[in-house]
Structure formats: structure tokens, C-alpha cells
Chains A and B, each alone.
Chain A
């Protein structure tokens, strides 16, 4: 089984967002593998362990992403690929990212491609389905269970709390939802081995991609922080009275009931 996992480096979920000159400050921030992509990596490793084959993790980013790729290798992925587009293009949107990934993947004969269903930073959830469409393969998003039997994937998909039981044939792209598995922590031997595993670095030229091909279709013109919510009122008095007051306030002041 030839398996590829699309991963993204994101801010740690604990991080606060600080703006400086309208730009999100990254200095001193902790970075992680996007949590949904971790499910994808774990699932890929489990499928490879059960069925044989190879797991390659692929990302787009700058040199900083190496740390997250090494973590994926330490979890058990076999190879990593870093597509460094930073020197060639400034702004990439989901159209651009999907285009680059699809150009990389198009001759790889992947049986299965996995990714997270959404990244916790940009939050668009577009790249998986876009890549599948560009490659002309089928996709299933927000999966919570995956069993592969020969050429057939049996999948459970989360649809706003309901579960769809689906069958699809390989090659296939799936995106992981929470609950798919419990991602492992890298073991110490895993970390040691990861240092020696292959990590290939590519630029857009290596993929025969022109800057014009990946020009973003959308543009972010401003980033801002939401208005700070001020602490409201903590009610006082007997619990019974507090509850009465609360319902009154929700009714007459907040007007939500």
C-alpha cells in the first residue's frame, strides 16, 4: 500500500494570537502538527503495519517545518517531503496549495492519501477535496473509521453528529475527524530512527510549477482580533434567587429567551 499523508504545521492550540502591524506574531510561539493531521498520520501508520507498504508525509512550508516532519517520522512514517515554496511565491491560498500538492502527487501512484479534515489555523478545510479533484480520485471527508479490504475502503463518516457508513474503492483520499484513532507519542527509539529517515526537500522548479500557475485566487486584506469580551456579572445571593435573576436577565436584558 502506497500511502501519502498531507500535513501542516500550525500554532499550538494553547497559543494566544498577537498582532503586530496587522500580522500575526510567530516569535516564541510553539508549533505543532495540525491535530487533525496527527489522526491521519496515525491511521496511515496503522494501515501500513497491518498491510505493508510505505507512508510518506508531505508538507508545504519553510525550513521550520522540518521539526514537525521529524515528529511524523518519529511516530513511524517512512519518508518525508518538504515542498519549499516560500522563496518563489509570497501568498498561497487553498487553490495554490492544492495545486502544488497535486502536481507532486500526480505521478506517485498513491493508493491512499490522508489528511486532516481541517487545519486549526486557516480553518478552510478545502485542500483535501481540492487535491482529490485535481488528481481525479474519489474522496471522503471527516472520517471516524477506516477499514481497507483489498481495493475496498469501508468508512464511517461523521456528518454533523450522524454517521454515514460508506464504501469506496481505492485510490482514495480521506480526511480525518476527531475520534478516528488515538495518535501515538513518538517513542525514544522512534525519535532516534527518525533522524536517519529520508527527508526530501523540493522547490516549485523541481515540480515544473510556474509561479503564475499557483497565483492565489483570494487575498487577505486585513487580520484583526475580536473585540475583547468583558467579564460580565457574577450573580450574588441565594442560589434560588440567582437563578431567578439569571432567567430574568436573559429574558429582559439579553433578550435571548
Chain B
């Protein structure tokens, strides 16, 4: 049976996040020929409708209100639940982002539905869909299904589901739903931006990560340079965070973030099991470590035994050459 699927288009600094296009691709699989409806929530978001349609949404519902300029769980849940009441969907897809993680359980609770978080793969489609998600931070995986024809509500992990090809000839209806947004219990006083270059660790295609071998906060500078050159983000092992070389928000591992970039470059990281849990599902892993016996080499696709402070600058030069050539 075909399904009607709502996808939340997540907006950050005026643009749609990639994970929303991936969510549309996931929604198409679940819809099995049914309708995929993009939902845009904010104070002025209608202009983003066309792009969501070009990535595969059939039509768009917007909810615009001055109180939705900033995300709050109260405001966004009122808006989204109003859309579910108007559309009566069979399925809902969000990105597994800070916003998605904060909002989806509240909405699932309001809808008295299950919620399958952090999905990395969908097997089958329509009614037979099974959702694959990591457990134990990727040390194992589970396949989960929704019981008894309940609402299929999932969040998809960034970087795992391939978005559809953008088709600029696609068009679809855009409608707006008027919702009264009231009683916001959380007041956001200020947002302090730390992720300076704007590439989010969980969405980055390239992650350059440092461990105890980086030795100091300054030691992270060449890693930052390499990450910037490759359009990636910098991560760290618990050891580096505990030693105060960097902020805990960069920590990758079983406590910390789980990342699955195309390329993971581990610099001066020994490869403790907790760290491996957070990154071993990356597509390609490069290890740079002085110790040839380091555990990280056991899971690395390519390894260089050497001092990261020699290797990383050489890598920067070499990548620059390649970038210039291409």
C-alpha cells in the first residue's frame, strides 16, 4: 500500500540542510509510490520550497510565524502537529540532528507513536520496510519495524542515505497552514557559535581527528588546516578532550559523537574501542601514528607510521598540489 509521508525540511542560517534531502530519499522509499510532503517551519521559509521539490518532495506545506524564527520544541511541535492533523500521514521522516533529536520524541509522544531514531539504511519499502540503526554506537546494528500499522516515524542519520538527483524541472504545490504558536516555555537568550567554519562534525564528508599524540591545543592547528583544505571538520578522541586540548563537543566515540564521513583521518589516535565505536563505519579510514602496533591500524584502509607533525604538513602540501591539478 502506498503511504503519505511528511518530511521536515530543516533550515539552518537560511538554507536547507543536506540531511533534509536525504530524508526525502528515505521518505520516497517508505512512500512506495505514495506522496512525499515537505514541511517547512520558520518565520520566512516559503522560498525554500522549490529546492525541496527539486530533491523529490511532491508538494510543500509551510507554517510561518514570528515565534518560529528560532527553534523551540514548544513552537515547532505545535506547528508540526498541526500539519499532521491536517494531513493525517502514514509516516514521518526527520534528520537525526540536534533539532531532530530534540523535537522528534516530543512529537512521537504527542502522536502516541513509536519512533525509530538514527536510521542509517532502509531495507525493503512501503509496508515491508525494515529500518537499520546502530546500537552500542555502531558496535552492532539492529533492524527494527513498526508494529501493527502504527505511524512510521524515523530520524535518519546524516551522510548515510543518498539523496535523489536534483531535478530543476520538478514543480509542486506550495500551501501554507496558519497555526497559532503560543506558550513558549523556553527563552533563548543567546546563541554562541563555536563551530567557526560552519562544517558540522556529524554532516562532514571529511573528518580530521586528533588524539593524545597531538600533545596540545596548538597541536590541533595543522589538523584544522588540513580539515579546512578538504572542506571537512575536526574531531578528537576522548584522550585529547580529557587532556583539554580541545572542546568536548569535538569528541568522537561511544561517549561523544558517532560519525560516518567518506574520509576519516586519525592523527595520533591509538584506537581504543570506545573511539572505534564512533568512527569505524566511516567509508575510508586513514591512520597516522608513530606506533606501528597502534590498534587504529587494524581498521584503517591506509596507514602511515610516522610523526603526525611531519606527516600532516606534507599531506597539506600534497593535497594542495592535487587540488591545483584538478
Contacts and interface: CB of A to CB of B under 8 A. Distances in A.
B145 A140 contact: no
Interface in A128-150: 128-130, 132-134, 138-142, 144
B177 interface: no
B100 to A, nearest CB: 10
Given A24-B140, A232-B301, A165 B314 contact: no
A243 B315 contact: yes
Contact of A129 (B102, B191, B258): B102
Given A16-B273, A19-B140, A218 B188 contact: no
Given A95-B108, A165-B191, A250-B302, A256 B186 contact: no
Interface stretch (A45-53, A105-113, A155-163): A155-163
Contacts of A164: 188, 190-192
A165 B187 CA distance: 9
Contacts of A95: 108-109, 112-115
Contacts of A179: 247-249
Interface residues of B, number: 93
Contact of B110 (A120, A133, A244, A247): A133
B141 A125 contact: no
B287 to A, nearest CB: 8
Interface in B104-130: 104-106, 108-110, 112-118, 130
A224 B110 CA distance: 32
Given A160-B97, A218-B114, A226 B280 contact: yes
B192 A94 contact: no
Nearest to A239: B306
Interface string B291-326: 010000111111111100011001100110110000
B319 A257 contact: yes
B117 A124 contact: yes
B145 A219 contact: yes
B186 A140 contact: yes
A167 interface: yes
A140 B299 CA distance: 37
B60 to A, nearest CB: 25
Interface in A202-220: 215-220
A76 interface: no
A35 B253 CA distance: 12
Interface in A77-130: 93-95, 98, 120-130
A233 B287 CA distance: 10
B69 interface: no
B143 interface: yes
A2 interface: no
Contact of B256 (A16, A24, A129, A178): A178
Q: Which of B102, B104, B250, B319 has the most CB of A within 10 A?
A: B102
B118 A246 contact: no
Nearest to B184: A138
Contacts of A98: 105, 109
B144 A219 contact: yes
Given A162-B191, A165-B189, A257 B230 contact: yes
B298 A166 contact: no
B109 A166 contact: no
A145 to B, nearest CB: 11
B292 A161 contact: no
B117 A126 contact: yes
A235 B300 CA distance: 11
Contacts of A250: 263, 284, 286, 302
Contact of B147 (A17, A129, A216, A231): A216
A215 B146 CA distance: 12
A36 B195 contact: no
B325 to A, nearest CB: 10
Contacts of A239: 304, 306, 310-311, 314
Contact of B117 (A13, A123, A140, A232): A123
B140 A225 contact: yes
A200 interface: no
Nearest to A121: B136
29 contacts: A24-B140, A123-B133, A125-B117, A130-B105, A130-B109, A133-B105, A162-B193, A164-B190, A165-B190, A165-B191, A178-B248, A179-B247, A217-B146, A218-B114, A220-B143, A220-B144, A221-B144, A223-B140, A224-B140, A229-B280, A231-B299, A232-B302, A234-B302, A243-B304, A243-B318, A246-B315, A247-B322, A254-B283, A256-B283
Query: Which 8 pairs from chain A and chain B are nearest by CB?
Result: A217-B114, A161-B195, A232-B301, A129-B105, A133-B109, A218-B114, A126-B105, A179-B248
Given A225-B140, A254-B302, 17 more contacts: A17-B139, A95-B115, A120-B136, A123-B137, A124-B118, A126-B108, A126-B117, A130-B108, A132-B106, A160-B201, A162-B192, A163-B192, A217-B150, A229-B280, A229-B285, A239-B310, A256-B206
Interface of B: 73-74, 97-98, 101-102, 104-106, 108-110, 112-118, 130, 133-148, 150, 185-195, 200-202, 205-206, 230, 247-251, 254-256, 258, 262-263, 273-274, 277, 280-281, 283-286, 292, 297-306, 310-311, 314-315, 318-319, 321-322
